[in-house]
A = this chain, B = another copy of it.
Amino acid sequence: MRILVTGGAGCIGTNLCNELRSRDHYVIACDLYNTERDNYIRCDVRNYRQMERVFKEYGPFDYVYHLAAEYGRWNGEAYYENLWQTNAIGTKHMIRFQEEHKFRMIFFSSAEVYGDYDGEMKETVMVENKISDTYQMNDYAISKWAGELMCLNSASMFGTETVRVRPVNCYGPQEEYTPYRGFIPKFVYCALHGRPYTVFKGHKRIIDFVEDSCRTFASIVDNFIPGEVYNVGGRPEWEMDIKDYSDLILKATGADESFVTYKEAEPFTTKVKKMDFSKAVRDLGHDPKVSPEEGIKRTVAWMKYLYRIK
């Protein structure tokens, strides 16, 4: 298949391109910056003309994985201009190209769309539940739900075919540290650099190693069911307290626990995210293999390589 991956230089994007290429697909990646990569083109999805050029020069595509997005809750609050331009306008641009070129799209949403819902997050929650159960709690989450609705509306009006995915705490190699990253890369980076970090207690999370998530994302083209939506994340039995992950990271890095400050639950943050991944298991053969312990070891090894730490 001929496949375009927007946001193809990010953590999920890079791993997904590797996975798709290993399956003999022809893959073009695009992202914000120029890079040394092959089969890659610089394209900011906020700019229609730059996207049009990708389709003209590299298209047609059978599938587009649309990952390009401003990512993360606090990043979205601090850089909301970029967030809305990329996540809303950029996604709408993509949908317009989809309406014209008729490729199938995989839209990357987020488990953040479930807001502060404290029950088990099945995909049907965003259909059946009370609206106030899932009021999205930040612009990032709102923009991702907006993107999902745009996909649904385009499907009704123009017959476009899209599958939505809601990744949950995907982590691993290719995720460089910034202050707006999730807790795994943040803790690993700080532990490796002898920097202090804070662990909020009482938040449970399931993490999924990026290569495991990406095998599942790559399988979507083999069983593409238009209109479907999938939670994708780690094994439910891997659920742990964020402090437990920190402990694994301290062990894997050999860092001194004295750098860690423990605090009570973080405000405005979902305490427990209990997710149901059975639909991805059923339709896409979702089958995470890399345990948190193993995945954290590999993430530590990659970050040591990236930041030249001996």
Contact = CB atoms under 8 A, between A and B. Distances in A.
Interface string A14-57: 00000000000000000000000000000000000000000000
Interface stretch (A135-143, A237-245, A248-256, A280-288): A135-143
A131 interface: yes
A80 interface: yes
Copies of this protein in the assembly total 2
Interface stretch (A121-129, A187-195, A271-279): A121-129
Contacts of A92: 80, 84, 139
Contacts of A88: 80, 84, 88, 139, 143
Contact of A142 (B125, B137, B138, B146): B146
A150 interface: yes
Interface in A115-159: 125-139, 142-143, 146, 149-150, 152-153, 156-157
Contacts of A133: 131
Contacts of A136: 149
A153 B89 CA distance: 22
A70 to B, nearest CB: 12
A98 to B, nearest CB: 14
Interface residues of A, number: 32
A85 interface: yes
Of A125, A142, A157, the most chain B CB neighbours within 10 A belong to: A142
Nearest to A80: B92
B130 A129 contact: yes
A268 interface: yes
A100 interface: no
Given A127-B132, A138-B153, A143-B146, 19 more contacts: A80-B88, A80-B89, A80-B92, A81-B89, A84-B84, A84-B92, A88-B143, A125-B131, A126-B132, A127-B130, A128-B132, A131-B131, A131-B134, A135-B152, A136-B149, A137-B153, A137-B156, A139-B150, A156-B268
29 contacts: A80-B88, A80-B89, A80-B92, A81-B89, A84-B84, A84-B92, A85-B85, A88-B88, A88-B139, A125-B131, A126-B131, A126-B132, A127-B130, A127-B131, A127-B132, A128-B131, A129-B130, A129-B131, A130-B130, A131-B133, A135-B149, A136-B149, A137-B153, A138-B153, A139-B146, A139-B150, A142-B146, A143-B146, A157-B268
Interface of A: 80-81, 84-85, 88-89, 92, 125-139, 142-143, 146, 149-150, 152-153, 156-157, 268
